[in-house]
Structure 1
Amino acid sequence: MAFMTSRVRVMGTDQERLDRFFDLALNAKRADDELRTEFSDAEYEQVLDYVAEHPGDRPQLAEAFVAIAYDPSLGPIDLVEYCMYALQWPEVRGRFIDRLEGEPSERARSALRRLLKAFEPDWPHAEIYRRFSKCKQ
């Protein structure tokens, strides 16, 4: 994977589709920044829908989620948690575990542990999103 200034290039996928993914992620970040005290998962749903519409891009989209997790300027960390709770992609979980094992910074390890919680069935943040709170009723 080669990094550009504000975008991530992932080989093997149509760059326009990947750019669209990152545009949606940035829309979610803007919505998060505007709301600050209230969660609206509409923008997160758009990302999840986009991912579902492009199953053939899964390896590249997995890399894109990892890129967002490591560089929040690409999109919100909460988006990664939300999508991974829904998608349960083991390849993304594995990347976080690998990074956690070699990470010297306690702050970064704490962030990685938070990301990994999204793969658990009882993810504590699930209830703040309409999509997941309905599932538990």
Structure 2
Amino acid sequence: MTSISDTFDQLCALAALSYDETGDTRFESRLLDILNLVKSYPQARDLFVEKFKIMLSSRVTPLEVVEFCMRELQWEEVKCFALALYQPSINPRSHALAGLISAYEEVWPDEDLYRYYSNRSL
């Protein structure tokens, strides 16, 4: 039997593959799979928070995975972690982290990049 953690990791790996393939339209579908898994297991929030933090600290999974999920989930723990990492003069990923932090705002500049968010309001 596959654990929730393993399923999450597998979905993130598939999203990363879709992200890297030019013209692959499955990326948003993969992001929705991840978001739906996380929403389906509210009792595993602590696990998912740690997984998202690991993503923010590594270069393995595109930050768009965290950004997409946090737009809806709005988890403060992840936002605080991203803010702690955000150091424009030191961290080369700060520009991407700024995109993630903007997902918590009422108006998200990247909303139109995803059909899921561009056709609804939070």
Query: TM-score normalised by the shorter chain: which range applies?
Result: 0.7 to 0.9
* RCO higher in structure (CA 8 A, sep ≥6): 1
1:30-41 mapped onto 2 (5 Å cutoff): 30-36=17-23, 40-41=27-28
Pick from 96, 100, 111 the counterpart of residue 96 of structure 2. 111
2:78 counterpart SS class: helix
1:20-72 CA distance string (max 9 Å, x none): 10110111111111235767411100000100111111011011011112213
**Counterpart residue identity of residue 112, structure 2:** E
* C-alpha contact 1:24 1:43 (8 A) present in aligned 2: yes
May I ask how many residue pairs the two structures share in their alignment? 120
- Identify unmatched segments of 5+ residues in structure 2: none
Displacement of 1:128 in angstroms is 1.2
- Identify unmatched segments of 5+ residues in structure 1: 1-14
1:69-118 CA distance string (max 9 Å, x none): 22131x221111000111100111011122226x7515233332222111
Pick from 1, 4, 7 the counterpart of residue 20 of structure 1. 7
RMSD across aligned C-alpha pairs, in angstroms?
Answer: 2.2
Find the aligned partners of 2:54 and 2:32 in 1 and give their Cα distance.
19
Structure-2 residue corresponding to 1:49: 36
Find the aligned partners of 2:95 and 2:76 in 1 and give their Cα distance.
20
Structure-1 residue corresponding to 2:72: 86
Find the aligned partners of 1:109 and 1:68 in 2 and give their Cα distance.
14
1:107 counterpart SS class: coil
Scaled by the length of structure 2, the TM-score of the pair is 0.85
Structure with greater Cα Rg: 1
2:6 counterpart SS class: helix
2:107 counterpart SS class: coil
Find the aligned partners of 2:91 and 2:18 in 1 and give their Cα distance.
29
The answer to whether residue 109 in structure 2 is matched with residue 135 in structure 1 is no
Alignment identity in percent?
27
